[in-house]
């Protein structure tokens, strides 16, 4: 646990496991979001000695850490974490869990320099391959204006940058040309991809880089302006949305058939009742034991319950119920297994204290992770001009993760690309406005909104939205270009939105739920992977 004051801590802003979200991506997110607080990383299941790595951030900068292994400097002490394959973590916003003392290493470390340094030693090459696979065989290039000085690259690494800049080529073609070897070439391409310094080449590219840093995937270009190759999706709910709803819902047995005996009917009703109950129960509640129960008490409770819930005891006449009884048996067995093993029990208690530890919470987390993967697939489909397919995936992703601003923005953009008319422009605008309600600082959403407003003929509003995007992210070159064109047309007058630099929410009068406060949990990829605060 985090110590005697654990009960006094606020709920973590986000939590997860390094097996699903590598340390590099979590660190990058904290840096891009300019978060202040403590990232706590627990050891892998079989790792020794026990304890936590506690890393303090101030406005996105690494400033201190309390580490289980002593190190001479803060940056050297953090490098082993980049190779971690698994281990739970949680981020506590505005809380200092590092403190002071001899065990603490302090110093202001640039996360970009640390990320580049981590790739020169043991690294998560499985993650590298996964990120680069998103580009496929599409040519890539260094993004114009990308500042590579922040990485403090070594001479031979800088030489590889010049190879990338020489001419657009696929990652498969570029990596072997690195003087340091193909593996390092891939790692450098990965570094540039996750930091938005690398982009796919071809067509008109709408910048997806954001001051809020909501995306840790490779940037994908928007499609060139040309007739779409896919037909408009039907107005009815997509199969992806239906799948998403099934994923979130608890599956229960059907209504019992007629003609069952009284005993069989009572058992049928019991199965349905128990499935509903254990869906929201902790392991202790499933077994009917207190949290301080020892291993012997756990086993006694378990064996008492499985006498009734073992799948082999289901009568042949109730064969339809067997899969549902197997689920009950599986949950009870998982509870017994976790609570009788000291290490597993410790891990489970951490999950439980953070608001998880029930089948329902695990199902919701699985839905968020699936939404993140579907979002990534949708961006690939947009790049391939399969806008209808991207729309279907994004409708499902929004069902699974409705607070994800990026998902709403991507849906609006995919609809914009698919439909050249104005009939559905209000629907596109509503989707992007939802994204801005959830995350007013998304330059990508402001840019998409500007494009839709222009299609509607609202040029002055479009110019203001372009100004918002440019003010939030001066590297959004498409938005900056539009602002400059507007200045030229207007005799040099700068749009008010860019002068103020303030982010503007959509008009609250146009959206019934626009008064809902924006939350960090709804701002993008971090909530998709971490799962955010559980109910």
Alpha helices in 119-261 (DSSP H): 125-133, 155-166, 171-174, 182-194, 239-248
* CB within 8 Å of 85: residues ≥ 6 apart: 18, 19, 44, 124
Does residue 167 sit within a domain?
Answer: yes
Residue ending a domain, choose from 162, 185, 200: 200
Average pLDDT (312-331) is 90
> How many Cβ atoms sit within 10 Å of the Cβ of residue 530?
25
Residues 317 and 439 in one domain: no
Residues 379 and 501 in one domain: yes
**In CATH, what number is assigned to the domain containing residue 312?**
1.10.287.110
Q: What mean pLDDT is predicted for residues 168-183?
A: 88
pLDDT tens figures, 240-278: 777 777 777 888 899 998 889 999 999 999 999 999 999
Instruction: Indicate if 383 and 517 belong to the same structural domain.
Output: yes
Whether pLDDT at 159 is above 90: no
**Can you give the pLDDT at residue 491?**
54
Reported as a single tens digit per residue, the pLDDT across 378-406 is 888 888 888 988 998 899 889 888 888 99
Q: Are residues 147 and 99 in the same domain?
A: no
Asked if 337 and 406 sit in the same domain, the reply is no
501 pLDDT more than 70:
no
Least confident of 43-47, 153-157, 430-434, 452-456: 43-47
How would residue 296 be classed by pLDDT, with cut points 50, 70 and 90? very high
Q: Is residue 74 part of a domain?
A: yes
Domain termination site, one of 200, 216, 240: 200
**Do 411 and 517 sit in the same domain of this protein?**
yes
pLDDT tier at 184, thresholds 50, 70, 90: very high
Length of the chain: 535
pLDDT at 262: 93
What is the pLDDT, as a whole number, of residue 202? Answer: 55
Q: How many structural domains compose the chain?
A: 4
Residue 21 sits in the same domain as residue 90 = yes
Q: Are residues 330 and 399 in the same domain?
A: no
Regarding whether 189 and 95 lie in a shared domain, the answer is: no
Give the mean pLDDT of 292-303.
Answer: 92
Average pLDDT over residues 28-54: 80
Q: Most confidently modeled of 20-24, 229-233, 289-293?
A: 289-293
- Asked if the structure places residue 45 within a domain, the reply is yes
- Confirm whether 239 is domain-assigned: no
In eight-state DSSP terms, residue 465 is: H
81: domain range?
A: 6-111
What is the per-residue DSSP string for 79-128?
GGGGG----EEEEEET------STTEEEEEE-HHHHHHHHTTSS--HHHH
Residue 480 lies in a domain: yes
Looking at the structure, tell me whether residues 100 and 143 fall in a common domain.
no
Give domain status of residue 484, yes or no: yes
Please state which of the ranges 47-56, 200-209, 428-437 shows the lowest mean pLDDT. 200-209
How many Cα neighbours within 13 Å face the side chain of 513?
11
Residues of the chain by 3-state class (helix, strand, coil), percent to 5:
55, 10, 40
What integer pLDDT is reported at residue 505 of this predicted model?
Answer: 38
**Residue 306: is its pLDDT beyond 50?**
yes
User: 351: pLDDT confidence band, cut at 50, 70 and 90?
Assistant: confident
pLDDT at 45: 65
- pLDDT band of residue 230 (cuts 50, 70, 90) is very low
Q: How high is the pLDDT of residue 150?
A: 87
> What mean pLDDT do residues 529-533 have?
41
Percentage, residues of the chain above pLDDT 90:
28
Q: Encoding tokens for residue 297?
A: 């008490």
Decide if pLDDT at 464 tops 90: yes
Q: Looking at residues 138-142, what average pLDDT do you find?
A: 87
Contact yes or no for 70/103 (Cβ under 8 A):
yes
Average pLDDT over residues 497-513: 39
Give the per-residue pLDDT at 44. Answer: 75
- Burial (CB < 10 A; 0-12, 13-18, 19+), residue 285, is middle
Classify residue 131: in a domain, yes or no: yes
509 pLDDT exceeds 90?
no
Q: Which residues pair with 14 in a beta bridge?
A: 91
Q: What is the pLDDT confidence band of residue 364, given thresholds at 50, 70 and 90?
A: confident
Q: pLDDT digits over 106-128, tens only? A: 888 889 999 999 998 888 888 99
**What is residue 233's predicted lDDT score, i.e. its pLDDT?**
33
Q: Are residues 347 and 371 in the same domain?
A: no
Say yes or no to pLDDT of 534 above 50: no
pLDDT at 273: 94
pLDDT-derived band at 47 (thresholds 50, 70, 90) equals low
Q: Give the CATH number of the domain where residue 485 resides.
A: 1.25.40.10
Task: Tell me, yes or no, whether 248 lies in a domain.
Answer: no
The verdict on 476 and 454 lying in the same domain is yes
* pLDDT tops 60 at residue 48: no
> In the predicted model, what is the mean pLDDT of residues 210-232?
30
Does the pLDDT value for residue 508 go beyond 60? no
For the cut 50, the answer to whether the pLDDT of residue 304 exceeds it is yes
Arithmetic mean of pLDDT over the chain: 79
pLDDT over 70 percentage in the chain:
82
pLDDT, residue 227, reads 30
CB-based contacts of 262, cutoff 8 Å, min separation 6 = none
pTM for this predicted structure? 0.46
For range 289-313, the mean pLDDT: 91
Mark which of 326, 357, 388 sits at the end of a domain.
357
């Amino acid at each position: 646990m985090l110590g005697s004051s654990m009960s006094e801590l606020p709920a973590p802003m986000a939590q997860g496991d390094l097996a699903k979200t590598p340390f590099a991506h979590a660190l990058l997110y904290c840096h891009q979001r300019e978060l202040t607080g403590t990232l706590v990383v627990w050891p892998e299941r079989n790792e020794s000695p026990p304890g936590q790595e506690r890393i303090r951030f101030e406005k996105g900068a690494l400033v201190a850490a309390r580490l289980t292994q002593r190190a001479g400097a803060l940056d050297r002490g953090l490098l082993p974490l980049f190779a971690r394959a698994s281990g739970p973590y949680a981020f506590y916003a505005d809380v200092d869990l590092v403190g002071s003392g001899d065990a603490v290493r302090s110093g202001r470390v640039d996360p970009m320099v640390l990320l580049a340094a981590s790739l020169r030693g043991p690294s998560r090459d499985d993650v590298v391959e996964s990120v680069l696979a998103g580009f496929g065989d599409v040519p890539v290039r260094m993004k114009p204006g990308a500042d590579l000085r922040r990485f403090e690259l070594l001479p031979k690494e800088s030489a590889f940058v010049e190879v990338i800049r020489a001419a657009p080529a696929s990652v498969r073609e570029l990596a072997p040309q690195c003087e340091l070897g193909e593996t390092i070439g891939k790692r450098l391409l990965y570094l540039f991809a996750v930091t938005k310094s690398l982009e796919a080449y071809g067509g008109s590219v709408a910048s997806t880089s954001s001051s809020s840093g909501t995306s840790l995937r490779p940037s994908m270009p928007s499609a060139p302006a040309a007739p779409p190759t896919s037909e408009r999706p039907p107005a009815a709910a997509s199969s992806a949305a239906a799948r998403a709803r099934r994923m979130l819902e608890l599956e229960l047995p059907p209504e019992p058939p007629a003609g069952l005996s009284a005993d069989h009917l009572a058992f049928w009703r019991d199965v349905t009742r128990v499935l509903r109950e254990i869906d929201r129960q902790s392991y202790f509640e499933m077994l009917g034991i207190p949290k301080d129960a020892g291993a012997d008490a756990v086993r006694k409770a378990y064996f008492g319950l499985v006498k009734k819930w073992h799948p082999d005891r289901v009568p042949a006449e109730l064969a339809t119920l067997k899969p549902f009884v197997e689920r009950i048996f599986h949950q009870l067995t998982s509870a017994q297994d976790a609570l009788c093993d000291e290490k597993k029990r410790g891990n489970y208690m951490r999950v439980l204290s953070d608001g998880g530890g029930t089948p329902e919470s695990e199902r919701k987390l699985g839905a968020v992770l699936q939404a993140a993967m579907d979002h990534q697939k949708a961006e690939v489909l947009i790049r391939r001009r399969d806008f209808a397919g991207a729309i279907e995936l994004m409708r499902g992703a929004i069902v699974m993760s409705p607070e994800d601003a990026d998902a709403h923005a991507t849906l609006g953009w995919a609809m914009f690309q698919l439909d050249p008319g104005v009939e559905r422009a209000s629907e596109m605008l509503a989707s992007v406005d939802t994204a801005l309600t959830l995350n007013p600082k998304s330059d990508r959403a402001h840019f998409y909104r500007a494009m839709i407003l222009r299609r509607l003929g609202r040029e002055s509003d479009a110019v203001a939205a372009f100004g918002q995007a440019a003010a939030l992210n001066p590297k959004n070159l498409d938005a900056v270009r539009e602002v400059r064109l507007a200045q030229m047309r207007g005799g040099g007058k700068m749009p008010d939105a860019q002068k103020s630099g303030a982010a503007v929410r959509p008009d609250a009068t146009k959206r019934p739920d626009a008064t809902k406060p924006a939350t960090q949990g709804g701002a993008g990829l971090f909530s998709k992977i971490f799962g955010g605060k559980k109910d």
